[in-house]
Chains A and B, each alone.
Chain A
Amino acid sequence: MNTITTLSRRRFLALTGVASSGLVLMGSIPGTVLASVLDEAEGAPLNLFVSLKTDGTVEIIAHRSEMGTGIRTSLPQVVADEMEADWTRVHVIQGLANADYGSQNTDGSRSIRNFYQVMRQMGSAAQAMLRQAAANTWAADVRDVSAQQHRVHHRDGRSMGFGELATAAATLPLPDLNTLTLKDPSEFRYIGKSVPIVDLDDMCSGNTTYGADVRIPDMLFASIERTPTLQGKVKSYNEAAALKLPGVVKVVKIGGTALPSSFHALEGVAVLATDTYTALSARDSLDVQWNGGQHATFDSERYLDTLAERVSSGPGKVARERGDTDKALASAAKTVEANYRTPYLAHAPMEPPVATAHIHDDICEVWACTQTPQATQRAVAEALDLDVSRVKVHVTLLGGGFGRKSKPDYSVEAALLARASGKPVQVVWSREDDVEHDYYHSCSAQYYQGGLDQDGALTAWLAREATPPIRSTFDRDANIQDDGALNMTFGSIPFSVPNLRLESHVAETQVRIGWLRSVFNIPYAIGVGCFMDELAHAAGRDSVEFWLDTIGEDRHLDFAPEGFKFGNYGRSLKEYPYDTARLKGVIRQLRDSIPWGEALPEGEGWGISAARSFLSYVAVASKVKIVEGRLTVTEMHCVIDAGTVVNPDRVHAQIEGAMIFGLSLAMMGNIDFKRGAAVQSNFHDYPVARINQTPAVIKSHIIPSDALPAGVGEPGVPPVAPSIANAIFAASGQRIRDFPFNRHFNV
Chain B
Amino acid sequence: MQLDINGLAYEIDISPQLPLLWALRDHLQLTGTKYGCGKGLCGACTVHLDGQPVRSCQTPVSALHGKKVVTIEGLSEDASHPVQRAWKQHNVPQCGYCQSGQIMSAAALLANNQQPTPAEIDTAMSGNICRCGTYPRIREAIRDASGQSAEKK
Contact = CB atoms under 8 A, between A and B. Distances in A.
Interface of A: 66-70, 194, 196-197, 199-210, 212-213, 215, 221, 275-277, 280, 348-352, 397-402, 430-431, 649, 653-654, 656-661, 664, 682-684, 688-692, 694, 696, 698-699
Given A206-B100, A402-B131, 20 more contacts: A68-B95, A196-B88, A199-B96, A204-B93, A204-B103, A205-B73, A205-B78, A206-B33, A221-B26, A277-B22, A350-B129, A400-B94, A654-B94, A656-B137, A661-B131, A683-B42, A690-B135, A691-B138, A692-B122, A694-B122
Given A208-B32, A275-B27, A682-B37, A399 B135 contact: no
A470 B100 CA distance: 35
Given A204-B99, A276-B25, A653-B94, A692 B73 contact: no
A682 B95 contact: no
A691 B120 CA distance: 11
Nearest to B92: A204
Contacts of B37: 431, 682-683
A199 B48 CA distance: 24
B96 A68 contact: yes
A197 B41 contact: no
B3 to A, nearest CB: 15
Contacts of B31: 206, 209, 212-213, 215
A747 to B, nearest CB: 13
Nearest to B15: A246
A664 B32 CA distance: 27
Given A276-B26, A350-B132, A205 B93 contact: no
B79 interface: yes
A212 B96 contact: no
A67 B98 CA distance: 12
B99 A431 contact: no
Contacts of B5: none
Contacts of B73: 205-207
B139 to A, nearest CB: 7
B59 interface: no
A659 B87 contact: no
A213 B84 CA distance: 21
B62 interface: no
Nearest to B36: A350
A746 to B, nearest CB: 15
Contacts of A280: 38
Contact of A691 (B44, B84, B87, B128): B128
B95 A399 contact: yes
A431 B36 contact: yes
> Which 9 A-B pairs have CB atoms at the shortest separation, nearest pair first?
A206-B32, A399-B97, A660-B133, A203-B96, A68-B95, A68-B94, A206-B72, A657-B133, A277-B22
Interface in B1-55: 18-19, 22, 25-27, 29-39, 41-42, 44
Nearest to A658: B133
B148 to A, nearest CB: 15
B66 interface: no
A296 B16 CA distance: 40
A216 B138 CA distance: 34
Contact of B136 (A196, A275, A649, A698): A698
B147 interface: no
16 contacts: A196-B91, A204-B79, A215-B29, A215-B31, A350-B97, A351-B36, A401-B95, A656-B133, A656-B137, A657-B132, A657-B134, A682-B41, A690-B129, A690-B135, A692-B126, A694-B133
Interface string B52-76: 0000000000000000000111011
Given A683-B129, A684-B39, A689-B133, A69 B94 contact: yes
A590 B99 CA distance: 31
Question: Most chain-B CB neighbours within 10 Å: which of A280, A397, A682?
Answer: A682
Contacts of A661: 131, 133
A682 B39 contact: yes
Q: Binding site of B, secondary structure by majority: helix, strand, loop or mixed?
A: loop
Contact of A400 (B22, B78, B132): B132
A350 B27 contact: no
B125 interface: yes
B32 A197 contact: no
Contacts of A401: 95
A155 to B, nearest CB: 40
Contacts of B121: 691
Nearest to B103: A204
A207 B32 contact: yes
Contacts of A402: 131
Contacts of B75: 205
B25 to A, nearest CB: 7
Contacts of A213: 31
Contacts of B18: 277
Question: Most chain-B CB neighbours within 10 Å: which of A66, A202, A203, A430?
Answer: A203
Contacts of A660: 133, 135
A676 to B, nearest CB: 24
B145 interface: no
Nearest to B22: A277
Contacts of B22: 275-277
A694 B135 contact: yes
B130 A350 contact: yes
A532 to B, nearest CB: 26
Contact of B93 (A199, A209, A659): A199
Contact of A201 (B33, B38, B88, B123): B88
A351 B139 CA distance: 22
Contacts of A70: 94
B64 to A, nearest CB: 16
B94 A691 contact: no
B126 A690 contact: yes
B143 to A, nearest CB: 13
A400 B131 contact: yes
Contact of A275 (B26, B44, B76): B26
A435 to B, nearest CB: 10
A69 B88 CA distance: 16
A653 B31 CA distance: 26
Given A276-B25, A657-B132, A691-B139, A66 B95 contact: yes
A277 B16 CA distance: 13
Nearest to A696: B118
A350 B79 contact: no
B82 to A, nearest CB: 12
Given A204-B79, A208-B96, A692 B123 contact: yes
Nearest to B30: A206
A426 to B, nearest CB: 10
B138 to A, nearest CB: 6
B136 to A, nearest CB: 5
B18 to A, nearest CB: 6
B97 A659 contact: no
Contacts of A692: 122-123, 125-126
A206 B22 CA distance: 16
